[in-house]
C-alpha cells in the first residue's frame, strides 16, 4: 500500500508539473503573439473599456489615446473614414501591414518608422532622486511637459491608461515616465520625457528603471516603443531592454 501510494503521488506530481509547464509555454506563446499587434491586444484585453470598433478595426477612445490597430488591412479604409469623424488626427500601428485609406476623407501625414523593445533582464542602478507617483492633480503639468518635449500623441486622459511617476525640482515637474498600453501579459512603458533645462542629469534613466520595477511588481512583462535611431535606445539597452521588432506608426489626419 505504501509503495502504491508513493507511485500515485509521484504520478500526480508529474501531472501537475507537466500542466504547469504547458501553462507557462501557452502564456509565453500568447505574450509573443501580443507583441506583434500590441494596440489590438491591449484594446481587447486590459483596455477594452476604452475600445471603439469600426468595420473590424479597433481604436482607443480619441479622448484617451489616438491609436488604432487592425488585423485585415482591407478594412481600414472604411474604419478610418468613420474614426476621422470623431478625431482630427490619429495613428494606426502595425508591424508589417500597410493600411488602406480613402484620400477623399483622410490624409497620410507620414509613416513613422519605430521599433519595439522588451525587457530581458533589468539591470540594477542606484536611485538618487525622489520619484513620486503622479495624481489627477498633476494632469495639466504632465500634458504640458509631454507636449513641450514630444508633441502629437498624448491626451490629458491618456493618464487613465496606467500609472505615472515624476521628479520635481523646486516645485516644478521636470521629468516623467508612465505606463500606456496594457494587456494580460505586458505593460508598455511610455512618456519618457524630461524638460530641456534638466536633461543630462540621469533623471529619465532613474525613472525608466523605477517604472520598470513597478511593472515587474505587477507580474507583467515590460515593453516599450520608440522611433528608430532614437538616442534613448542606448539608455534602454543599458537597463536591460532589447530590440525585438519594427513597429510602424501611420499618422493620419482628417481632410
Distance CA 68, CA 119 (A): 24
Structural domain of 172: 118-252
Q: How does residue 23 score in pLDDT terms, banded at 50, 70 and 90? A: very low
Please indicate, yes or no, if residue 21 is contained in any of the structural domains: no
The domain that holds 187 is classified in CATH as: 3.40.630.30
pLDDT at 236: 98
68 is a domain residue: no
In a domain, 180, yes or no: yes
Domain count, the chain: 1
Q: Is residue 211 part of a domain?
A: yes
Average pLDDT over residues 15-19: 43
Structure confidence by residue, pLDDT tens digits, 130-166: 999 999 999 999 999 999 999 888 999 999 999 999 9
The answer as to whether 60 is a domain residue is no
Task: Kindly report, residue by residue over 99-127, the tens digit of the pLDDT.
Answer: 999 999 999 999 999 999 999 999 999 99
Look at residue 40 and tell me if it is in a domain: no
Predicted structure pTM score:
0.86
Cα 65 to Cα 63: distance, rounded to the nearest angstrom: 6
- Residue 14 has a pLDDT of 44
pLDDT digits (tens, 9 = 90+) for 205-255: 999 999 999 999 999 999 999 999 999 999 999 999 999 999 999 999 999
pLDDT tens digit sequence for 32-77: 999 999 999 999 999 999 999 998 999 999 999 999 999 999 999 9
Average pLDDT over all residues of the chain: 91
Report if residue 228 sits inside a domain.
yes
Please report whether residue 15 resides in a domain: no
Amino acid at each position: 500500500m505504501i509503495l502504491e501510494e508513493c507511485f500515485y503521488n509521484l504520478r500526480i506530481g508529474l501531472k501537475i508539473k507537466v500542466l504547469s509547464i504547458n501553462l507557462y509555454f501557452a502564456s509565453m506563446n500568447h505574450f509573443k503573439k501580443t507583441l506583434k499587434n500590441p494596440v489590438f491586444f491591449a484594446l481587447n484585453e486590459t483596455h477594452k473599456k476604452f475600445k471603439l470598433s469600426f468595420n473590424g478595426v479597433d481604436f482607443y477612445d480619441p479622448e484617451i489615446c489616438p491609436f488604432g490597430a487592425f488585423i485585415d488591412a482591407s478594412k481600414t479604409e472604411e474604419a478610418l473614414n468613420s474614426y476621422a469623424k470623431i478625431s482630427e488626427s490619429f495613428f494606426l500601428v502595425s508591424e508589417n501591414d500597410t493600411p488602406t485609406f480613402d484620400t477623399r476623407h483622410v490624409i497620410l501625414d507620414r509613416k513613422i518608422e519605430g521599433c519595439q523593445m522588451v525587457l530581458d533582464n533589468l539591470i540594477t542602478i542606484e536611485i538618487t532622486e525622489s520619484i513620486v507617483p503622479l495624481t489627477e492633480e498633476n494632469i495639466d503639468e504632465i500634458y504640458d511637459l509631454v507636449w513641450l518635449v514630444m508633441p502629437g500623441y498624448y491626451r490629458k486622459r491618456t493618464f487613465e491608461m496606467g500609472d505615472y511617476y515624476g521628479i520635481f525640482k523646486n516645485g516644478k515637474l521636470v521629468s516623467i515616465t508612465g505606463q500606456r498600453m496594457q494587456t494580460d501579459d505586458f505593460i508598455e512603458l511610455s512618456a519618457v520625457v524630461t524638460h530641456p533645462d534638466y536633461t543630462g542629469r540621469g533623471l529619465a534613466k532613474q525613472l525608466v528603471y523605477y517604472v520598470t520595477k513597478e511593472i515587474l511588481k505587477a507580474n507583467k512583462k515590460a515593453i516599450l516603443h520608440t522611433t528608430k535611431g532614437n538616442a534613448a535606445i542606448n539608455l534602454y539597452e543599458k537597463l536591460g531592454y532589447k530590440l525585438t521588432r519594427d513597429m510602424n506608426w501611420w499618422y493620419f489626419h482628417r481632410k
